[in-house]
Amino acid sequence: MSAFAKLQLPDRGEKIAVKAGRLQVPNRPILPFIEGDGIGRDITPPTLKVLDAAIKKAYKGQREIAWLEIYAGAKAQKECGELLPQDTLKAIREFTIALKGPLETPIGSGFRSLNVTLRQELELYACIRPVRYIPGVPSPLKRPEEVNLVIFRENTEDVYAGIEWSAGSPEARKLIAWLKKEFSVQIREDSGIGIKPMSEYGSKRLIRKAIQYALDHRRRRVTLMHKGNIMKYTEGAFRKWGYELAAEEFSDRTITEDELWKKYDGKLPDGKTLINDRIADITFQHVLLRPSEFEVIATPNLNGDYLSDAAAAQVGGLGVAPGANIGDLTALYEPTHGTAPSHAGKNEANPTALILSGALMLDHLGWREAGELIQNALARTIQQKRVTYDLARQMEGAKRLSTSEFAEAIIENL
Ligand code: NAP
């Protein structure tokens, strides 16, 4: 095992091994976690308790996680004198799978988002956001139970690549002058400039993950969501590369919408998954009005960021939306929400999104039974109307619990 400058490794526990591209998970894997900024300190400790209790119950003490605290954000600044210590990146690489609370990004301060940095440094190119209704959660939809989709958002490219210069900077001025001279492009002198790179390699590896996920989880539809009607050579290319990839690598198990109508009169044949595409704006409408038409959505970075939060709102909001950032092997599980600073330190935030992210992580480890116990206990707790403030304010007759009380109620219901 590698040496770490400041981390205290747990006494017992082993590393997850990788053989022939597959994870070999021991009974006591060392898994790193980042507590997170803001409400991170409220939701992370009770989440670890829920995960531990579910694992204990599912495997009668035969399995256990050896947690390793690693640092990022304000706690890292305090403990290690920097926001993202090398130890943190090294530990996630070494132990392969980790859990993470939210991290703050001050707006417009020139400070690069730690979340984006983590994703880029670790090559976590797929952001996975399952959006599924938990019965009992207040929802603005008439039939929220129809929402059961998984969003695969590209994580490393697009306008999020961080290639931008502020208005009036020497770089922006130089670029504007060059574009004008070389390509006769007119851009106002006082413009800030951002670059939107989207590659065939980056798009295809994301779409490959989405299609593979659909096939592994018996999902019948993968939608490529893009804004290719306007941004033809980035978003439009994403669509083109998606169809190409499906034809090159998955032709025996997928069909396109064209083929569906030409050959099968619109009826999806057994054993095939449909690959279709939709423009981003209409997708927002359809996900709201006809959610059952979507199962897996693969989309570039910015579209995916917006859609993840919008879709989460349909099933109860950010407090209940889990997620993961995944590379070829490395995976970082984290909620969709941020640090919710106005609720920090008050023991009132909803830990559901982080708990469900943990349940997804258990699924990834192959510890499905423990993940299912958590999902069921959580649903039972919500049906009992024992909920945190965010859900209580929308539910009649609910008992408002603190973060830690809510976690205890889930443990009771395991
Ligand atoms: P946010 O932290 O997600 O919070 C927005 C609002 O959503 C909260 O004020 C709260 O609404 C509700 N909310 C979020 N999480 C909740 C929870 N667990 N329980 C109950 N309610 C919850 O978004 P933000 O205010 O835009 O961002 C704050 C900071 O987080 C920023 O620095 C941002 O960059 C960062 N961020 C980090 C991540 C990440 O780490 N992956 C993701 C997004 C944002 P009410 O107050 O109305 O109840």
Q: What is the mean pLDDT of residues 343-347?
A: 97
223 CB near ligand 1 (under 6 Å) = no
105 CB near ligand 1 (under 6 Å) = yes
Q: How many DSSP H helices and E strands does the chain contain?
A: 14, 17
- pLDDT over 90 (residue 316): no
Q: What is the mean pLDDT of residues 359-388?
A: 95
Ligand 1 atom nearest residue 114's Cα: 40
Give just the sign of the alpha carbon dihedral 317, 159, 186, 229.
Answer: negative
Q: How far apart are CA 223 and CA 178, in angstroms?
A: 38
- pLDDT tens-digit map of 246-260: 999 999 999 999 999
CA of 353 to the centre of ligand 1 (A): 11
Residue with tokens 């909001």: 317
301 CB near ligand 1 (under 6 Å) = no
Q: What is the mean pLDDT of residues 295-313?
A: 94
* Averaged pLDDT of the chain: 94
Q: How far apart are CA 139 and CA 121, in angstroms?
A: 37
Residue with tokens 């044949």: 269
pLDDT at 254: 96
Please provide the DSSP assignment of 53-85 as one string. HHHHHHHTTS---EEEEE--THHHHHHHSSSS-
CA of 38 to the centre of ligand 1 (A): 9
Our mutation pick for probing the ligand 1 site, out of 37, 301, 318, 348, counting the most ligand atoms within 8 A of Cβ, is 318
- Residues 6 or more apart whose Cβ sits within 8 Å of residue 356: 320, 321, 322, 335, 374, 375, 378
- 258: tokens are 């064209």
Q: Residue 318 — very low, low, confident or very high, per pLDDT cuts 50/70/90? A: confident
Q: What is the mean pLDDT of residues 26-49?
A: 98
340 CB near ligand 1 (under 6 Å) = yes
* ∠ Cα 302 303 305 (to 5°): 65
- Residues 6 or more apart whose Cβ sits within 8 Å of residue 216: none
pLDDT at 394: 87
CA of 232 to the centre of ligand 1 (A): 33
Q: Residue 3 — very low, low, confident or very high, per pLDDT cuts 50/70/90? A: confident
CA of 97 to the centre of ligand 1 (A): 24
3-state class (DSSP) for residue 279 = strand
Please tell me what DSSP assigns to residue 343: G
CA of 351 to the centre of ligand 1 (A): 12
- pLDDT over 70 (residue 289): yes
Lowest mean pLDDT among 18-22, 220-224, 410-414: 18-22
Please tell me what DSSP assigns to residue 29: B
Q: What is the mean pLDDT of residues 136-164?
A: 91
Ligand 1, atom 6, residue with closest C-alpha: 340
Ligand 1 atom nearest residue 335's Cα: 41
Evaluate whether 39 touches 349 at the Cβ level (below 8 Å).
Answer: yes
Q: Residue 110 — very low, low, confident or very high, per pLDDT cuts 50/70/90? A: low
Q: What is the mean pLDDT of residues 231-259?
A: 97
pLDDT at 109: 55
44 CB near ligand 1 (under 6 Å) = no
Q: What is the mean pLDDT of residues 3-19?
A: 90
